[in-house]
Amino acid sequence: MLGANRYGKSDVRLVKVTRGETTHELRDLVVDVALEGDFEAAHVEGDNTGLLATDTMRNTVYALARTHPLDSLEAFGAALVERFLRAGPTVTAAHVRIAEHPWSRLTAHSFQRGSGGTRVALVSGPELRYEAGIEDLLVLKTTGSGWAGFHRDEYTTLPETGDRILATIVTARWEYARASGESTWAGVRDTVLESFGDHYSPSVQFTLHHMGQAVLDRFAEIERIHFSLPNRHHLLFDLERFGLDNPNAIFHSTTEPYGLIEGTVER
C-alpha cells in the first residue's frame, strides 16, 4: 500500500524590488512548497487527474508575490498556503518554507549581501501554524567557555579545559501561537547573539538552554525554540616541537568530525 507522501516545488528563487519615490526595498527569497492530499491514483494507476503541476506552484509563487506585499514573510506564506488549498482539487494540506537572504543597504538603490544568518519562515495549513527560524548564523567567542568534569573511560584522550574557543553555526526554529510582527525575528536573532556572549559556558548544552531561556523570557508569543548547534572545534596546535610556547593563541580549526548538540527549550 502507498504510505505517507507529498510533492511540491523547491528552490523557487524570488527577488522582489519595491520602488518607492526615493528608495527601493529588496527582498531575496527562496520558497519551497510541499502539498499533501489524495494522490494515490497518480502513484498507483498513473492517473494525474486533479494533480496541481509543480510548474503551476512555481508560477503561483511569482504571481502572488506581484500582488501580495512581502512586508511579512509569514503573511505571504499564509497567502500561498490558502491559495494551494483552494487550487488543488485533491490537496488537503500545504506547507510553505521561505528562506530570506539578507541584504544591507548602501544607498537608496544599492545593497550589499548581508550577514547575520539566513531568515526562515514556515507556514502550514489548513489550520495555519507558524514557525520561524535562523540558519547559518556563525558565532564564536575566544574565551568564557570550558569543558571539564565529563565522564572518562579507557578511550578518553581529550584533556579538560576551563578556557577554550567556542564556535558554532546556529540553526534555530521557534513556534508562534499566532503570526508575529516583522520585528520579532530580528529581536530573536539579537537575543540569541546577546545571550551567546553574556555568560561563562561550561558546555554547549548549557549555552543552548541559556539562549533558549533568554528568548522565551523576552517573547511571550513564542511557545518553544529548538536549537541545532554543531561544535566547530578549534584545537590548540602543538608548537613545542618547534621550540615555541602556545598560550591559547594558535589553533587548528576543524570542520569534521564535529560534535552536534540539539535541544528544545519550551514553556
- Positions marked active-site: 9, 54, 233
CA 155 to chain centre: 35
Asked if 56 and 12 count as a contact pair (C-beta separation under 8 A), the reply is: no
What is the chain's length? 267
Distance CA 78, CA 126 (A): 10
Query: Which residues does residue 97 pair with via DSSP β-bridges, in sequence order?
Result: 32, 122
What is the DSSP secondary-structure string of 36-66? EE--HHHHHT---TTPPPHHHHHHHHHHHHH
Beta-carbon-side half-sphere exposure of residue 119 (alpha carbons within 13 Å):
21
